[in-house]
Structure 1
């Protein structure tokens, strides 16, 4: 699991018990989420945009203001924002869907997109160009990390390794670091996530049907079953 530890553990816990008992979860986060300096200025804003649960978590610690509506990408981000106290609505499962939804809804603006230093989709710029005023502020950085010693040992072995990848940047880091002979089974959250992985030698690369956590869970479970059949393995990493 390459996401931050807490998110990875939540994902593993959602897998079916039958499969989870046959897996050896291995945690090697490839991104470290670090809040940036500076206050969040929401003066004059009429709403918030969150495109990741990380943005919600950092914002929740940086501001006590819960008066603004929040428009979110994905079920997990929406649920995190609701749990943090915002009146949050899911506006799509991707940045593209969020942009289309907000242009259809036309909420009161300006809106503030609270995001990471590294982001895709140009949400604020594209919405503003389409007539919906949106400002943006990077409130956290995503610093790349190397594989852990445990992950390095696994990639050097001969047991099948199943790796779910959730973002293009993490996928690129994974592809840059992977050098081992272990049989590799990959699940990507979207075609954009799958693209950097195409340089690797793998047994199978499966793309989730939708860019959200539940579709990733379904894709991972299907791939685990296939890997166990093909490899004849009793368990996998």
Structure 2
């Protein structure tokens, strides 16, 4: 598992019990989230944008304001914002969908995107260009981590290794670290996530049908079945 333990455990819970029973789970987060001790001013802001649960938890440390609507990407981010007492609504499965939805709905502005150091989608710039004034505040950092010894050992072995990748940056980092002879079965959250690992020597690269945890779980489940067929001597669909 390539994300932090809490997020990885939530994802594993989405897999069927019989799939989990076939796995030896190795936790090797590729990115560490570090909240920043910064001053967060929401003066004059009429709504906040969250694109990750990490942004929610980091912002919750920096402000006690909960009177603003929170426009969110994805169910997990929305649930995290509600748990921290924001009036949150999921308005997209990814940044592009969030931008399209907010442009169509024209919420009262200005808005503020509370994000990490590394962010994709140019949300604030695109919304501002569409006439919805949107600011940005960086509230956490995402630091790259080395593979754990257990992950290195697995990649050096002969057994299939299934790797779920959830962001382009994590995928680029994994591509820079991945060595060894283990058959790789890669699940990518999107085509943008798949691109950095497309040059690796993998057995299968499966792109999730949608950028959601549920469809990623389906992709991983299919890879577990495929890897099992390879181990058993067949790889026929």
TM-score (norm 2): 0.96
CA contact (8 A) 2:47 2:110 kept: yes
The unaligned stretches of length 5 or more in structure 2 are none
Q: Is the 8 A contact 2:38 2:62 kept in 1?
A: no
Counterpart for residue 150 of structure 1: 150
Aligned-residue CA RMSD (Å): 1.0
Aligned mates of 1:73, 1:231 — CA distance in 2: 38
Deviations 1:119-175 (A, max 9, x none): 011000111011000000110000000100110110010010000000000000000
Deviation, 1:14, is: 2.0
| Alignment of structure 1 residues 56-95 onto 2, 5 Å | 56-95=56-95
Query: Contact conserved, 1:188 with 1:194, CA < 8 A, in 2?
Result: yes
- Give the conservation status (yes or no) of the 8 Å contact 1:51–1:72: yes
Count of matched residue positions in the alignment of Structure 1 and Structure 2: 233
1:97 matched residue in structure 2: 97
Give the alignment of 1:147-226 within 5 angstroms.
147-226=147-226
Residue in 2 that maps onto 1:18: 18
Structure 1 unaligned segments of length 5 or more: list them. none
Give the Å deviation of 1:106: 0.3
1:193 match: secondary structure:
helix
Q: Which residue of 2 aligns with 1:35?
A: 35
My pick for the range that moved more, 159-168 or 13-22, is 13-22
Instruction: Tell me if structure 2 keeps the 8 A contact 1:12–1:25.
Output: no
| Separation in 1, partners of 2:203, 2:117 | 33
For residues 38 and 174 of structure 2, what CA distance do their matches in structure 1 show? 31
Q: Is the CA contact (8 Å cut-off) linking 2:36 and 2:58 kept in structure 1? A: no
Q: What residue number does 1:8 align with?
A: 8
Q: Is the partner of 2:222 in helix, strand or coil?
A: helix
* In 1: Cα distance, 2:44 partner to 2:191 partner: 37
* 1:11-33 C-alpha deviation (Å, 9 max, x unpaired): 11221111101101100011010
By how many angstroms is 1:61 displaced? 2.0
CA distance in 1, matches of 2:165, 2:44: 37
Q: TM-score, normalised by structure 1?
A: 0.96
Q: Distance in 1 between matches of 2:220 and 2:85?
A: 31
